[in-house]
Structure 1
Amino acid sequence: MVFKRVTCWSSVLILGVLMGCATPQKPLYSWGSYQKEVYAYFKNTQSSPAEQIIALEQQEQKAKAQGLAVPPGFHAHLGMLYANSGQIDKVQQQFENEKLLYPESTTYMNFLLLNLNKK
């Protein structure tokens, strides 16, 4: 009986020590205000694409400073905002960045670039 209690408490103690030594995992992406900005865009609650561009550019700088990647779709959304504000050269750059960082988006980004070049 005493042996079972000692074994049980020893296991709990060892488990507690091991859990205390674990370091939290670094996040994969820096989401920041990205989701809020996308939601605001589709709900038409932001005042202008220019303000949203500024917010996303600041978010990208913060992510770089933290050594984190921006989430998938970030550059595509930023490119769309540039398109809405008439900055076509920046649109292409953002779509290319999206393809480079997230190769699974290549087909869609190529489709958007093709349509962009038609305009």
Structure 2
Amino acid sequence: MTTEQKQLLEDFDLVIFGGDGDLSFRKIFPALYHRLNEHQISERSRILAVSRKEKGHDEFLVQLESNLRIFVKNIDETVLKKLLSMVSIGMIDTGTNEQNEVVDGWLRNTQLEVRVFYLATPAAAFGPI
């Protein structure tokens, strides 16, 4: 694909359920890194990694950075820092009002109209989510 064919996507909010899982670390976040590196997404977009594990924001970012360094070749430090700045972590108990409060509260803090929800979870968790 040539540079002329690449388009900047509209700014978006992305909620990744299972955001601290293997699929997210191996595939989703590296793909987001590459799209940011290719100027197809802007750093005004936001990403919420939803987890059932209790994990602080800084702890999650360290884990994410470590995995990106494994799964992305020739990482650009500037792009890495931009991507990390776009990411937040939210802890939830699947299928509860707490889940709704975490996600709803995060989504309320934006004026972005495009919202994407990705379920990087076992199929059994789809219903409760």
Q: TM-score, normalised by structure 2?
A: 0.30
Relative contact order (C-alpha < 8 Å, sep 6+): which is higher?
A: 2
Structure number with greater Rg is 1
Looking at secondary structure, tell me which structure has more helix per residue.
1
Normalised TM-score (structure 1): 0.32
